[in-house]
Amino acid sequence: MALPPHIAAPPAASPAARAPVYALVGNPNCGKSTLFNALTGLKQKVGNYPGVTVEKKVGTTYSQHGQPITVIDLPGTYSLAARSPDEAVTRDVLLGRRSDTAQPDRVLCIVDAANLERNLYLVHQILDLGRPVIVVLNMMDLAVQAGLNIRVARLEKELGIPVIACEAVNGKGLVELRLAMSRPDLPLARHAWGVPAPIAPAVSELAASLVENDLKLPLIARAEALLLLTDQDSVRVSGSVPLSARTTEILQGWQKRWAAEGTDWAGILVNSRYEAIGNLATEVVLHAGTVGPTASDKIDAVVTHPVWGWLVLGVVMTLLFVSIFTLAQAPMDWIGTHTAMLADWVKGHMPAGDLRDLITDGAIGGVGSIVTFLPQIMILFFFIGLLESTGYMARAAFIMDRLMSRVGLNGKSFIPLLSSYACAIPGIMATRTIEDAKDRLVTILVAPLMSCSARLPVYLLMIAALLPNDRVSLVAKVGIMLLMYTLGTAGAFGFAWLFKRTLLKGAPPLMIMELPPYRLPGVRDVLLQMLERAGIFLRRAGTVILGISIVLWFLAAYPKAPAGATPTQQLAQSFAGRAGHALEPAIKPLGFDWQIGIGLISSFAAREVFVSTMGVVFNAESSEENTAPLRDALKAARWPDGRVLFTPLVCLSLMIFYVFAMQCMSTIAVVRRETNSWRWPLFQTLYMTGTAWVFSFVVYQTGRALGF
């Protein structure tokens, strides 16, 4: 049989010595990462595609003869007509449009056997590329449970390419897959799909122009042309080469003509593909009669029930939340004591001096503050991994979507925001599950407003100073605490609402979310993802945090006070102390003096540092368990003219400041990494700290006017 011209020429002959590079593609929820992990194990490298915040995963597997084979795991997508940056990367890598990634030689297309028709849509588009393709029919067990009998040999014959039945979760079919991947010669698909008549002339014209004006290979020019017709973001993604003026002109000319005629060109293309798939499916899939409700249906009847659904969500979220709070505490304490021990050990083994202080207070302290986040990050991502791989994550988003839509977000922002009550860092890292770039950015911008656990010590100290009587009712203390949490939450949702209406206008065109069948979690995948997140945090955010820690240490340690000075005197005349003085005019309207200013500056490292800084400033030994000495010292503090410094109103003003202010360099570092620029973390710092100033100002000045 003669091959159609667009695939007649084999892809540029790769030297026999070089093993082919595979791209792994597939729909979301079809077991793609499980297969990638099963193939490559720990031989994975995770990075970023330059210019976009899309993860680049490359792994190595071995052929039957032990030769290494490179596999690029591309972001999951339902179609090559990209709607998000992730999907655009998949499209662009497959088409060889990205300068940072060579076009893969072969494509490994993973398909959910229980959901064949929708999955074959992507396969159908990929066959257009004219590259050798291997189809992996995953989750054959689920297909059987759903009463489907898939004739694998028939599908292989119809497509003319290897089709491997597989259960990636338990490794079934992997040997056969490896065998197919090792084949030096892979046939091209018997894929002779004719473009529907109204569209065909446009496709030929575009393809010719792509070859002539954009220097595309004739082999992929037709696939390119077809995708240009359905693209919704052909210019948006950075990192790919823009289209030539001539091709753009032709494209817009056809689109204008069709629009005038009322031709629904994109729809015609989709229908035509599904027609071809439908014909294939009737040949290949045998329905073994009707089956009753599946296990998934039965679980969903409870999990998304109007009453039980909330209960299940409440229990799951409480578990998640409590475990981040409690399970992380022991390892965090361990890390705290051991970094302190390490610092002491270095102190004991090095001559006193600036270098020693730099190592113990700057470097070790900085590394300690990075590592401290690891337990929370790992626990959160372990849970998120469980929720995702079981399928519950999509249900939580389904239940919460209505509420989140009130502020213009969707259900997927719920878990990142909830996690931010424990710590904004894992919360912000968890926003990667939000596909829509604007929704994701808004979620990142407001997440640090949720009162995190680092604010607790500050709140506790201020409440102690505010209500000095030990016998004051617990209700009042809890009430103030709740007020602070409510204020932060209201701020987060209020700003989300505001940003979605102004700065980042526009909802995604459609909120479509798949509810995949429930599955047992793949523990290996969950653990791998958890380690991967931890590694990314250490490498990308860790360096920035270390740098800022050293700068902050320097500001507090220099210039040196004369020998014999107390730590209080040293801090007072350091750069940080002078900065506190310089800051006083700006914070005096909030009721703060320069000494509180030092606290604000130093707690930029982490909010809880405020407490220990106040201890140094007011020369009071205090610990988290026992704030009494520091509380008394604060009570005794006075302005130079003798007025009480920490009046109840100032305590309140200070708490409100901490509710809103972006007092956390680690969050800034993570936002920098997740948004790929300094623009957003800077904007975030300004808007949050600005809001903090305004709220504290209003509260303090109103309080003063009312005579407090």
The residues of the shown chain that bind another protein, judged by CB under 8 A, are 78-79, 81, 83, 114-115, 117-118, 121, 146, 230, 232, 259, 262, 264, 266-267, 270-271, 274, 300, 304-307, 309-310, 394, 398-399, 401-403, 405, 509-516
CA Rg value for the chain? 30
Closest separation between CB of residue 166 and another protein, Å? 19
- Judged by beta carbon, residue 122 or residue 671, the one nearer another protein is 122
* Assigned token pair, 29: 């929820």
Least distance CB 682 / another protein (angstroms) = 33
Q: Give 29 or 684: the residue with its C-beta nearer to another protein.
A: 29
Largest Cα separation within the chain, whole Å, is 98
DSSP-based three-state secondary structure for 149: strand
The residue (of 157 and 505) whose beta carbon lies closer to another protein is 505
In angstroms, how far is the first alpha carbon of the chain from the final one? 92
Least distance to another protein from the beta carbon of 91, Å?
13
Question: Given its phi and psi angles, is residue 271 left (phi above 0), alpha (psi -120 to 50 degrees) or beta?
Answer: alpha
Question: What is the closest distance, in whole angstroms, from the C-beta atom of residue 269 to another protein in the complex?
Answer: 9
Distances 704 to 17, 651, 700, 708 between C-alpha atoms, Å: 80, 13, 6, 5
For residues 584 and 596, give the distance between their C-alpha atoms in angstroms, rounded to a whole number: 9
Between 90 and 115, CB nearer to another protein: 115
Q: Residue 87 or residue 214: which is nearer to another protein going by CB?
A: 87
Rounded to whole angstroms, how far apart are CA atoms 539 and 536? 5
For 606-638, give one letter per residue: b (16+ CB within 10 A) or e.
bbbbbbbbbbbbbebebeeeebeebbebbeebe
Residue closer to another protein, measured from CB, 165 or 313: 313
Closer residue to another protein, CB minimum distance, 83 or 607: 83
Residue 80 or 449 with smaller CB distance to another protein: 80
Helix, coil or strand: residue 641: coil
| Min CB(508)–another protein separation in Å | 9
Minimum CB separation from another protein for residue 516, in Å? 8
Q: Are 373 and 423 in contact (CB under 8 A)?
A: yes
Q: How far is the CB of 251 from another protein (least distance, A)?
A: 14
Q: How far is CA 466 from the centre of its chain?
A: 39
Smaller CB distance to another protein: residue 213 or 230?
A: 230
**What's the min distance (Å) between Cβ of 25 and another protein?**
15
Separation CA 360–CA 683 (nearest Å)? 33
Shortest Cβ 340–another protein spacing (Å): 48
Identify the CA nearest to 374 among candidates 544, 542, 604, 543: 542
114 versus 484: smaller Cβ distance to another protein: 114
Select 115 or 339, whichever has its Cβ closest to another protein: 115
- Cβ proximity to another protein: between 102 and 288 the closer is 288
Of 30 and 364, CB closest to another protein: 30
Bridging pattern class, strands 133-138 and 148-150 = unpaired
Helix (H, G, I), strand (E, B) or coil at 456: helix
- In angstroms, what is the minimal distance from the CB of 7 to another protein? 22
Q: Kind and range of the H or E element at 137? A: strand 133-138
Beta strands in 146-279 (DSSP E): 148-150, 163-165
Instruction: Give 327 or 513: the residue with its C-beta nearer to another protein.
Output: 513
Cα–chain center distance at 63: 33
Output the smallest distance, CB 451 to another protein, in A.
Answer: 26
Q: Which long-range contacts (CB under 8 A, 24 or more apart) does 274-280 make?
A: 274/117, 274/121, 276/124, 276/193, 277/117, 277/120, 277/121, 277/124, 278/117, 280/120, 280/155, 280/158, 280/159
- Reported in sequence order, the residue ranges of 561-707 that DSSP labels E, i.e. its strands, are none
Shortest reach from residue 659's CB to another protein, in Å: 29
Q: Which is nearer to another protein, 167 or 300 (CB)?
A: 300
Please report where in the chains the tokens 């005629």 appear, as a residue: 261
Q: How far is the CB of 128 from another protein (least distance, A)?
A: 14
Quote the least distance from Cβ 462 to another protein, whole Å: 37
The whole-angstrom separation of Cα 4 and Cα 219 is 11
What's 234's DSSP letter?
A: T
Sign, CA torsion 354/356/361/363 = positive
d(CA 679, CA 681): 6
Kindly tell me which of 83 and 455 has the beta carbon lying closer to another protein: 83
d(CA 3, CA 132): 14
**CB of 342 vs another protein, minimal distance in Å:** 50
Contact 500, 446 (CB under 8 A): no
Q: Is 5 or 267 the residue whose CB approaches another protein more closely?
A: 267
Residue 513: count other Cβ atoms within 10 Å of its Cβ: 15
Q: Least Å distance between CB 413 and another protein? A: 15
Q: Could you give the CA distance from residue 594 to residue 596 in angstroms, rounded to a whole number? A: 5
Provide the token pair at 78: 């339902």
The DSSP letter of residue 285 is: E
Calculate helix-pair angle for 542-557, 575-587, nearest 10 degrees: 90
Give me the least distance between CB of 511 and another protein, in Å please: 5
Contact criterion met (CB below 8 Å) for 196 and 272: yes
HEC string of 300-330 equals HHHHCCCCHHHHHHHHHHHHHHHHHHHHCHH
What minimum distance in Å lies between the beta carbon of 110 and another protein? 16
CB 37 within 8 A of CB 174: no
Hey, what are 66's tokens?
A: 């032990």
Q: Which is nearer to another protein, 246 or 256 (CB)?
A: 256
Asked if residue 135 lies in contact with residue 161, where contact means CB atoms within 8 angstroms, the answer is yes
